[in-house]
Amino acid sequence: MPVPAATGGTRWQRIAARVDAYERLLRLDKPIGTLLLLWPTLTALWLASNGRPRWLWIIVMAVGTLLMRSAGVAMNDWADRDFDAHVERTAQRPLATGEIAPFEALCLGAVLAAIAFVLVVLGTNVAAMLWSVPALLIAIAYPFTKRFFALPQAILGIAFSFGIPLAYAAAQNRVPPIAWELLVVNLFWVVAYDTEYAMVDREDDRRIGIRTSALTFGRFDVLAVAICYAIHLAGMAWIGMQYKLGAIYFGGLVVAAGFACYHLWLIRHRARMNCFKAFLNNHWLGFAIFAGVVLDYGFRTAWPRA
In terms of Cβ atoms closer than 10 Å to its own Cβ (0-12, 13-18, 19+), residue 201 is buried
Q: Specify whether the CB–CB gap between 228 and 189 falls below 8 A.
A: yes
Cα separation values, 153 from 60, 139, 182, 193, 195, Å: 26, 12, 17, 9, 7
CATH architecture of 12-299: Orthogonal Bundle (1.10)
Rounded mean pLDDT, 188-196? 96
User: Per-residue pLDDT for 90 more than 80?
Assistant: no
pLDDT (0 to 100) of residue 8: 56
Give which of 201, 192, 200, 183 is closest to 86, Cα–Cα: 201
DSSP label of 219: G
Domain boundaries, the chain: 12-299
Long-range contacts of 23-30 (CB under 8 A, 24+ apart): 24/93, 24/94, 25/73, 25/74, 25/77, 25/93, 25/94, 25/95, 25/100, 25/105, 25/108, 26/70, 26/73, 26/74, 26/108, 26/112, 27/69, 27/70, 27/73, 28/70
Question: Is the pTM value of this prediction over 0.85?
Answer: yes
pLDDT tens digits, residue range 17-54?
Answer: 888 888 888 888 889 999 999 999 999 999 999 999 99
Distance, CA of 181 to CA of 187 (rounded, Å):
10
Q: Specify whether the CB–CB gap between 161 and 190 falls below 8 A.
A: yes
